[in-house]
Amino acid sequence: MKHVLTIFKRELSGYFLTPVAYIFIVFFLLLINTLTFWYGGLYENQQADLASFFNWMPILFILFMPAISMRLWAEERKTGTIELLMTLPVTIGQAVTGKFLAAWAFAAIAIALTFPLWITIAYLGDPDHGVIFSGYVGSFLMAGAFIAIGSAVSALTKNQVVAFIITAFFGLVFFLIGFPPSIDAMQTWMPDFLIDTMASLSFYTHFDGLSRGLVEARAAAFFGSLIIFSLFLNALFLDAKKAE
């Protein structure tokens, strides 16, 4: 645990050593607020909720979470510091966990900074705070799943742009297979049982329930299992590179 915490602190502080992290957070906040108020019609809907806010969250994550995860291992491989890291008295599992938790914490900071939206809604009306809290929990879990996948992809390449594109592609796929318009399109040529199976693996399916206040253990189990599986693959990829 000590080694994981050391790597966690090193990685998290590394995000804030350059202006990139601050630019990322500011851009994320500006975009989510613009989409929520302007395109989501927060005022026009005259509803004291953050439905429009959470509706945009998965789409933004497809772009922003790969930007967080793409540097995790690609940068280490490009600069050659991965060899130095592997010579330290830490296991691959500890290194993977520490880096992932740091990236997840950074994403959590960006999400937490949207809290003024919650305050605004509470001031304007009488929202169901349980539903909003559930949506934030769902956002946090979904961000972790995106970053875990991105971390595994990052371990396969030295090019951060390639890592970003591949992770964004996987994120888009995981989103679309449960998106209602996609399901409607697939029903014309795909068996129902296969559609249901694919939808059960979708970020959209599980996040949509959480964003509407439907707190289900299977949603947490889905995101948790995907995180663990992705980190396991991450460790396998690094172990394979180490053996080369």
Query: How many Cβ atoms sit within 10 Å of the Cβ of residue 156?
Result: 19
At 235 the pLDDT is 92
* pLDDT at residue 179 tops 70: yes
Query: How many Cβ atoms sit within 10 Å of the Cβ of residue 22?
Result: 11
Nearest Cα to 156, choosing from 91, 44, 244?
A: 244
pLDDT 10s digits, 108-154 = 999 999 998 888 888 877 888 888 999 999 999 999 999 999 999 99
The whole-model pTM stands at 0.89
